[in-house]
Every structure is written in C-alpha cells, then in structure tokens.
Amino acid sequence: MTTPLEVQGLGYELPGKGKGEAGSGRFLVHDVSFTVGAGETLVLLGRSGSGKTTTLKLINRLLEPTTGEVRIAGARARDLAATRLRRRIGYVIQEVGLFPHFTVARNVGLVPRLEGWEPPRIVERVRELLAVVGLDADTFALRYPHQLSGGQRQRVGVARALAADPPLLLLDEPFGALDPITRVELQREFQTLKQRLGQAMVFVTHDVREGLMLATRIGLMQQGRLVFLGTPQEFRQSDHPESKAFMAAA
C-alpha cells in the first residue's frame, strides 16, 4: 500500500519583484519533510504566522512549491492536473469559505457534482455526510450559510471536504473561532469520526491541547520550518524551546 502523503524538502520562496528575476530570498516555508500514513493524523502546531496554512496550500498546489516535492499516494503532485489533484484532497479552509449562494446541500455536494456523480447519489451522500458531522439533514440541507451559526458552518465545511471520500484530508483550524464548550464537543466527535474514516489527515491548529488529543504525530512549525516532529508523548518531553513554550501554555 502506498503512503497517502509524502512531503520532502518542501519550500516556498516569495517571488522577486519584476519578471524573470530570481526569488526574493524570503521563505514562507523552508525545508519541510514528513509523511502521513493511512489512518494517521499529523497535527501541525505553530504560532500565528509560522507557515501552517502555507504548508497546506503547497500540498494541494494552491501555491506552487519553489523547492522540494509532494507525493500523493506515490504520484508526484506536480505531475497531476491541479484540479484533479485537489478533488482527491479534502480541504477545510481556515475561513470556512462556504458559497453564500448555495444551500448547505449544494455546498456539501460540490466536489461530487464537479466529479459528475449522478444527482440521486449526491443527494444520498449529502444526507450521509450531514449525519456524520452531526447535522440533521431535514433541518439544515436547504438552509443557506447565513442561516447557520458559526459552529454549524464549520461542520458544513468539514462535510464538504469529506464529500468525495478523499484518501487525504487537509484541515486548517476546523474548530477555530468557536466557544470552548462547542470546541471540545466537536473535538470529541472528530476523534470518533477519525477512527471511522481511516483517512490520512494533516490537521492544523495553534491549540496545543487539541493537537495532543487528535495527533498520531505532532509537527511543530516555527518561522516556516518544522522544528519538531514526533509522537504526542515525545512532544511533551521535547527539549526544544518552542515545544516547551507550547507545553507551558497547555
């Protein structure tokens, strides 16, 4: 069986000014390497601005890496058409980004529709997914995003990412901006969900408790670099100053 995600020496250098010039020398992400196996969750932890979101965008090619390589199930990401690649990678974006002119059902069914599924199959899949994220289809399917609470919108964002059953999921602070109670609730549900789904996941957060709870392994980012990679157990005992700073905050 192939590894769902392999990242090798990944880097992103901001482009220089003007055409044909070399890069600016400013790296948003530098020399990041990790692999994520099936059923594993890699939690990317790091302060605001440490390069977590950028790393995710380099994986699904919303940004083209300037160095290094990404392999999805063994295939080089840059050899695949970007749109096809992205439909095979579930992506929960940090700002949720639901389409305001689509109902919840159409938002969730987006990728299946792009992939040309038959409408009855999409309807069924949408019901199934809303149940998975704990939303009652009869109540919510025909609502518009502005008729949902923040937490409900985030659940819809997760359902949308799961829709075409992608073997790899990228989640960018899927529980950000929630009250602590709802947040813990969603984290618990997500843990059970994770076991059921068996996908490979990269889960971004700056909440160390959330990270320790959900991670198979933790990657700690600092100023664009991966300064620590190991199990939650190893993370607790790490001597790296940034790990200590995060543990102290937990």
Partner 1 sequence: MSLWEFYARNSGEVLGLVGQHVSLVASSTAIAIVLGVPVGIALTRRPAWRAPVLGLANVFQTIPSLALFGFLIPLPFIGGIGATTAIVALVVYALLPIVRNTYTGLAGVDPAVREAGRGMGMTDWQLLTQVELPLGLSVILAGVRVATVVSVGTATIAAAIGAGGLGVYIFRGVAVVDNTLILAGALPAALMALAADGLLGLAERRFAWRAT
Ligand X SMILES: Nc1ncnc2c1ncn2[C@@H]1O[C@H](COP(=O)(O)OP(=O)(O)OP(=O)(O)O)[C@@H](O)[C@H]1O
Residues making contact with partner 1 (CB under 8 A)? 60, 62, 82-87, 91, 93, 95-101, 110-111, 114, 144-146, 148, 153, 160
| Residue 14 within binding range of ligand X, rule CB under 6 A | yes
Q: How far is the CB of 184 from ligand X (least distance, A)?
A: 20
Residue 159 interacts, among Mg ion, partner 1, ligand X, none and using kind-specific CB cut-offs from 5 to 8 Å, with none
DSSP designation for 120: H
**Which stretches within 133-198 are classed as H helix?**
137-140, 150-162, 180-197
Q: Say how far residue 40 (Cα) sits from the centre of its chain.
A: 13
C-beta of residue 153 within 8 angstroms of C-beta of residue 174: no
Burial class of 10 by CB neighbour count within 10 A (0 to 12, 13 to 18, 19+): buried
Residue list 73-102, contact with ligand X (CB under 6 A): 94
Q: How far is the CB of 46 from ligand X (least distance, A)?
A: 5
Burial class of 139 by CB neighbour count within 10 A (0 to 12, 13 to 18, 19+): exposed
| Residue 54 within binding range of ligand X, rule CB under 6 A | yes
Q: Look up residue 184 and give its two tokens.
A: 């813990």
Q: Look up residue 214 and give its two tokens.
A: 């959900």
| Residue 174 within binding range of ligand X, rule CB under 6 A | no
Radius of gyration of the chain, Cα coordinates, nearest whole angstrom: 18
Residue 100 interacts, among ligand X, Mg ion, partner 1, none and using kind-specific CB cut-offs from 5 to 8 Å, with partner 1
Q: How far is the CB of 143 from partner 1 (least distance, A)?
A: 11
Pick the stretch among 43-51, 149-157, 163-171, 181-189 that binds ligand X (CB under 6 A): 43-51
| Residue 60 within binding range of ligand X, rule CB under 6 A | no
Q: How far is the CB of 221 from ligand X (least distance, A)?
A: 6
**Which stretches within the chain are classed as H helix?**
52-59, 82-87, 104-108, 110-114, 119-132, 137-140, 150-162, 180-197, 208-214, 232-237, 241-249
Q: State which of residues 51, 65, 109, 112 lies at the interface with ligand X (CB under 6 A).
A: 51
| Residue 53 within binding range of ligand X, rule CB under 6 A | yes
> CB-wise, 93 or 186, nearer to ligand X?
93
Q: How far is the CB of 106 from partner 1 (least distance, A)?
A: 10
Round to whole Å and give the CA distance between 223 and 234. 21
Using CB under 6 A, list all residues that contact ligand X: 14, 28, 46, 48-54, 94, 206
